[in-house]
Amino acid sequence: MPEWLIDILITLTKIVIVEGVILTAVAYSVYAERRVSAFTQNRIGPNRVGPAGLLQPLVDVVKLLMKEDIVPAKANRLVHALAPGISILVALSTFAVIPFGDKILLAGREIKLQIADVNIGILYILALVSLGVYGVTLSGWSSNSKYSLLGGLRSSAQMISYELSMGLAVLGVILINGSFELDTIVQNQFGWKWNIILQPIGFLTFLVSAFAETNRTPFDLPEAEQELVGGYHTEYSSMKFAMFFLAEYANVIVASSVITTLYLGGWQFPYLQTFGLPDMLVSILQVLAFCGKVFLMVLFFIWVRWTIPRFRYDQLMNLGWKAMLPLALANLVLTAIILTLFKT
Amino acid sequence: MLESYIPIMLVLSFALIFAVVMINLSSLLGPSKPDKEKLSTYESGMEPIGTARERFSVKYYMVAVSFILFDLEVVFLYPWAISFINFPKAEMVYSLIVALIFIFILFVGLIYEYKKGVLKWD
């Protein structure tokens, strides 16, 4: 077989495995959300289908597949179908540049545990995150319903406001590492040199912006149930609705992975190299470390959702423009000054 | 150089195929019994009043305009940030001063918007 064909086959294998894991993780984060919310509210939650309700996500997918696909008569049919597509496309492809492990040697071949090792990884993520706003806005507009329109409008204004502080917070990490490559950034966080220690303000800003970007509580105004029914996906049913649902949780997982990669050391497992374990086991443990960190972040997202009440819209905008943006700018200036002072 | 983008193309096509299949699947598998009430716009069970194609608050528009301004300025900071740590000390100090002037202008713009009440929601 020619060399390029092998490369493509390896890439395809990685894509199938990674996307499979993400889709499964999405299904089970929905389950986790329902169980955690039930636990928080002193209920039981889904526990009937399979052991401890573990088959519930599968049943939900089948149910949604068998539902009638309703397109409102006044809706713009093409855009109405396009919007969930954009949402899920963005949510599923952002993970491509995230490294989930170190290089491994398999059959004499060095394989990077990362789908695409591009040198502009961070820019790719930021670009796709800003594309995500189209799915929400277009669904809000095309449904031709007041709730959807308001949800879409709120969401677009919110997402672009917090995108600024997100981009500025990332700049701190770039300043320290001098690279857009996520692999380099993870390599530099060897041991306990995690960026959360070097960039505490940046981490905080990024975390808050990530909550706003994924439309999660306390920033879930686009679908504030009490005032907007379902928000931008009020007029969606069956699989199109499921696509928005999937995209929301995929975004939570991707946001957790990005936070892990940028600030929590990615796949780095402190002191692992000192034990003298075989290389393969070290690699596996590193992948597991990455998964564990992402899992804890997802759990944190869910925990926050069921603990903190929703912001009012003016509070949300004030926080974004008058607190997060100056804070991110201050973090950037501070990082640059400290870097200059310590330069020899 | 460009080869490293082939995996990204593959991921995007995978996601595209997934999206197209999933969105069309339920119209194949699900029932289809549309009627007038079902296809009408949802408005909490009432007859819809007016349309959704109405004018909306200008503030959303203002936010979008200021986003474009600030986002462009943030984008200009990226090339500086990526090369900053690799500079020798003297050039680092110089580029820091230049960047500080740039960020100061950005910040003055934010203060101006704040004073003009663009960011006010009530």
**Residue ranges covered by each domain of chain B:** 2-39, 58-116
Per CB-CB distance under 8 Å, the chain B contacts of A242 are 22
Name the burial class of residue A28, with classes exposed (0-12), middle (13-18) and buried (19+) by CB atoms within 10 angstroms of its CB: middle
The predicted pLDDT at position B101 comes to 92
Instruction: State the total domains in chain A.
Output: 1
| Tens of pLDDT, residues A66-96 | 888 888 888 788 888 888 888 899 988 888 8
Ranges of residues in chain B with a pLDDT under 70 are 1, 122
Per CB-CB distance under 8 Å, the chain A contacts of B104 are none
Q: Confirm if A293 and A252 have CB atoms less than 8 A apart.
A: no
Chain A residue with CA closest to B59: the answer is A157
The predicted pLDDT at position A256 comes to 92
Better-predicted residue by pLDDT, A230 or A25: A25
In a domain, A4, yes or no: no
Chain A window 236-255: which residues touch B at a Cβ cutoff of 8 Å? Answer: 238-240, 242-243
B81 vs A171: CB contact, 8 Å cut-off? Answer: yes
- Of A195-199, A300-304, A327-331, the one with minimum mean pLDDT is A195-199
Per CB-CB distance under 8 Å, the chain B contacts of A235 are 41-42
In a domain, A10, yes or no: no
| Tens of pLDDT, residues A168-188 | 899 988 988 888 888 888 888
Q: What is the pTM for the complete model shown?
A: 0.90
- Of A287-301, A305-319, B95-109, the one with minimum mean pLDDT is A305-319
d(CA B43, CA A337): 55
Better-predicted residue by pLDDT, A340 or B27: A340
The predicted pLDDT at position A131 comes to 87
User: How many helices, marked H, and strands, marked E, lie in chain B?
Assistant: 4, 0
d(CA A81, CA A61): 19
B14 three-class SS? helix
In a domain, A22, yes or no: no
Domain residue limits at A172: 68-343
Cα torsion angle, A111, A112, A118, A119, sign: negative
Distance (Å) from the alpha carbon of A173 to chain B's nearest alpha carbon: 9
d(CA A124, CA B4): 13
Q: State whether residue A61 sits within 8 Å of chain B by CB.
A: no
Tokens of B9: 């193309």
In a domain, A154, yes or no: yes
| Tens of pLDDT, residues A91-149 | 888 888 888 888 877 777 777 788 888 888 888 998 888 888 888 888 888 888 888 88
At residue B117, what is the residue type? G
The per-residue pLDDT of chain A, averaged, comes to 85
What is the value of ipTM here, to two decimals? 0.86
The predicted pLDDT at position B1 comes to 66
